[in-house]
Amino acid sequence: MENKLPSFLLDQPSPVSFKQGKGRIKMGFLEEGIHHLAQLIKKGYVQWELSSGSGLFQKIDARVKVLFLLFFVIIVNLKRDLLSELYIGGFIFSLALLSRIRIVTFYSRVLFLGFFLGFLIAFPSAFNVITNGEMVGPVIRFSKPINFWIYHIPAEVGITREGIYGVIRLTLRVINSLSLSFLVLYTTPFSEILRALKVLKVPDTFIIIITLCFKYIFIFSKTAEDMHLSKKSRMVREATHAEAREWIAGRVAFIFMKTRLRYEEVFKAMIGRGFSDTIKLYGFPKMRTGDCYAGTFLLFTGVFFLFI
């Protein structure tokens, strides 16, 4: 799959020689911004390529997968015990295996985000300052409890059993929710996911706006990257903060004008093809028997998880 990626995504950014200090800056922040843009395009490619694979989930109708995602995310968020979360996590793992997703790539992304969005945010609540309970890991001891305004800090501050339980539950919830999202994303083309939103009664107009935005983002991400590379190739001296800010503000304005021009062109093309403000997406074909079986299986599995 790697050799199908465009070369500009595979190139490592070249080191830059701008100095820092006294109003002179490194170009690192620009590199970082452009890196984000390149990553964005790369993720789009990877998602597109993975979703066209031939695993279990790739064969299922997008409508079934969107309903599965919504149903299971709600279940994951309703469950209160760790064991249920672990069972659901195991079920998602087996679905990912059967879908022939690259497990290491998949879980490195899930666990990375899960660590930041789940564990790190929740971790301070493991202390008895937030969650009272049985102390399992004392950290600091004061001579007496501290009280100020509405806050109370006990004489002994540490991690509680109940606090750890809460942190693990939140972390598992975040990881399971992310796994579900990425499982559907990695096995379904984004355009199909958007079209499948029709089953949730999302208006066609809104789906078209999201689709257009998605297409524009990829076009203009490449434009932004090109602008940066052309600027970098013409730079012969250090940039000051003020120059850098002026340049970025100018590029954002330029993108704004480009997007306006593009929208005018798209609008003219739509009019040219007979657009009359009536948006109607083509419906999906009738669901196959296999999709119905898959949907029923996922529904019953979800109900099972809901009641265990």
Interface segment toward other proteins; rule CB under 8 A; list 8-16, 95-103, 170-178, 280-288: 170-178
Residues 6+ apart with CB under 8 A from 27: 16, 18, 232, 235, 239
Angle 48-50-55 from CA coordinates, rounded to 5°: 135
Q: How far is the CB of 289 from other proteins (least distance, A)?
A: 28
The yes or no reply on residue 292 touching other proteins (CB under 8 A) is no
Nearer to other proteins, 140 or 269 (CB): 269
The yes or no reply on residue 52 touching other proteins (CB under 8 A) is no
Measured between alpha carbons, how far is 24 from 10 in angstroms, rounded to an integer? 30
Nearer to other proteins, 245 or 288 (CB): 245
Nearer to other proteins, 140 or 249 (CB): 249
Residues 217-246 binding other proteins (CB under 8 A) are: 217, 220-221, 224, 241, 244-246
Q: How far is the CB of 270 from other proteins (least distance, A)?
A: 7
Residues 109-148 binding other proteins (CB under 8 A) are: 109-110, 113, 117-118, 121-122, 125, 130-131
Residues 185-214 binding other proteins (CB under 8 A) are: 185, 190, 193, 203, 205-206, 208-214
Nearer to other proteins, 5 or 70 (CB): 70
**Binding footprint of other proteins, residue count (CB under 8 A):** 85
Rounded to 5 degrees, φ, ψ at 141 are -130, 125
| Long-range own/partner contacts, residues 130-137 (CB < 8 A, 24 or more apart) | 130/163, 131/160, 131/162, 131/163, 131/166, 132/160, 132/162, 133/160, 133/161, 133/162, 133/163, 134/160, 134/161, 134/162, 135/159, 135/160, 136/160, 136/161, 136/164
Compute the CA torsion angle 107, 112, 115, 118 (nearest 10 deg).
-80
Return the residue of 52, 77, 105, 108 that touches other proteins, per CB under 8 A.
77
HSE value, Cβ hemisphere, 13 Å, CA-based, for 220: 19
Nearer to other proteins, 56 or 129 (CB): 129
The yes or no reply on residue 48 touching other proteins (CB under 8 A) is no
Angle 92-300-288 from CA coordinates, rounded to 5°: 85
Binding-site string for other proteins from residue 9 to residue 28, where x marks contact by CB under 8 A and - marks none: -----------x----x---
The yes or no reply on residue 1 touching other proteins (CB under 8 A) is no
